[in-house]
Amino acid sequence: MSTVGSLNSKIISEVRGPSLWFILFITILISGCDVAEKVEDATDKVSDISGDTVAVLEGAIDALERNSSSWQTVLQDTTKQLTSDAQSTIRNEVSDLLNRSVAASGNELRCNLDFIGARVRQALERIRARLLFQTVPPVEPALCHVVPAAVDMALDSSRRNKIEFFGYDFDTTPIKVTLKDKSRTLDVSTNLNRITHYHMALNLGGNGVPVSNASNQLILEWQDRLVSSIPVIQPTTRVCNEKTETYSRNTYLSFTPPHTRGDKEYHGNGPEVWAKARWINEGNSVKVRLWMKAQETKKDWTTAEGTRIETFYTAPPGYRIEKIIGDEES
């Protein structure tokens, strides 16, 4: 150290300008090496922490690949393993993922545990990708259940005023809803309400989606990819109930036809008598048409002839008579 000190003093005394800059340069360079060692040590620590975190995440991902239905236990264990302060951000993300998944697995969701587990694994893979500075895949919304599965236009409007969607990650990205009619496609996304990240409702009421007798289906899309298609079922012509009914009525009909010819006296000459009965179908009733003719057999041919129509049967309310089975005339 003394030799170097003497040398430095000598150089300064003989060549002050250049030697001063040279000595300062060396001093800064030596100090710089100390900083580099400290930065390298800090980087190693961060790298170790990052590596430990990735290892914990990969263990959780592997566990979910083996048994996706155990997602709740896996997330709880993963949170416990992320203990250091440097891992607090990731620990919070995993904890939020646990809470989010528990909320989404309620009775109203109706998704099975394997589905939730698969979504949890995908979320952990995205966290790992960010740590490793890899491309992070987008969060795609997933649909588990639609209630009702179709819009039945035969129902009263008050009974088909909404569609509910249960699933996952509905709050991460826009979802497009279109109504398809016979001649047009209408964007109705403004009528889709996100109640929670796992629950949405589409308003079909008077101030909602204008479904009509021309509507065919409702389409949900994410990034131009189909999420769900809900058919709009139009009512068909109602099929009528049919029945065959045998009806009898013990009724004595007395009919005297009006006089049409002669002196109104038969004088023992006959008369010859003709009679016919004919059924008449009038849709909601059956009538009987009676015709009768009585004619004297000689002299002035006294004749009586006429027709009488009487209701024989009336159909029950809501029914219409299609046809009369058997002979309609006798």
Q: Residue type at 267?
A: H
Which range of 27-36, 117-126, 197-206, 243-252 scores highest in mean pLDDT? It is: 197-206
Q: Which domain holds residue 203?
A: 142-233
CATH code of the domain containing 153: 2.60.40
Residue 10 lies in a domain: no
pLDDT (tens digit per residue) in 234-274:
987 666 777 888 877 776 777 889 999 889 888 888 899 98
274-295 per-residue burial string, b: 16 or more CB within 10 A, e: under 16:
eeeeebeeeeeebebebbbbbb
106-133 per-residue burial string, b: 16 or more CB within 10 A, e: under 16:
eeebebeeebbbbbbbbbbbbbbeeeee
Same domain, 56 and 113: yes
Same domain, 52 and 127: yes
Other beta carbons within 10 Å of 253? 10
Per the structure, the count of domains in the chain is 3
Using CA atoms, how far residue 328 sits from 114, 278, 312, in Å, is 70, 6, 13
Which of 233, 263, 282 is the last residue before a domain boundary? Answer: 233
Residue 81 lies in a domain: yes
Same domain, 127 and 148: no
Q: Residue type at 260?
A: T
pLDDT at 309 over 50: yes
Same domain, 115 and 33: yes
pLDDT at 112 over 60: yes
The predicted structure's pLDDT at residue 13: 39
Same domain, 169 and 207: yes
Residue 35 lies in a domain: yes
The predicted structure's pLDDT at residue 215: 93
Residue 299 lies in a domain: yes
Residue 137 lies in a domain: no
Which of 82, 110, 131 is the last residue before a domain boundary? Answer: 131
Residue 166 lies in a domain: yes
- Are 257 and 306 in contact by the 8 Å Cβ rule? The answer is yes
pLDDT (tens digit per residue) in 145-199:
888 889 999 888 888 899 989 887 888 778 999 999 988 899 999 999 998 888 8
Residue 180 lies in a domain: yes
The predicted structure's pLDDT at residue 120: 83
Residue 238 lies in a domain: no
The predicted structure's pLDDT at residue 238: 67
User: pLDDT band at residue 86, thresholds of 50, 70 and 90?
Assistant: low
Same domain, 210 and 286: no
pLDDT at 25 over 60: no
Q: Which residues pair with 162 in a beta bridge?
A: 203
The predicted structure's pLDDT at residue 217: 95
Same domain, 26 and 126: yes
Report, in this order, helix, strand and coil percent for the chain, each rounded to 5: 35, 25, 35
pLDDT at 24 over 60: no
Sheet holding 176-181, edge to edge: 151-152, 225-233, 215-222, 176-181, 185-187
User: pLDDT band at residue 28, thresholds of 50, 70 and 90?
Assistant: very low
The residue among 248, 244, 327, 314 whose CA lies nearest residue 285 is 314
Which of 131, 154, 186 is the last residue before a domain boundary? Answer: 131
Torsion angle of the four alpha carbons 108, 71, 83, 37, in this order, in degrees rounded to the nearest 10: -120
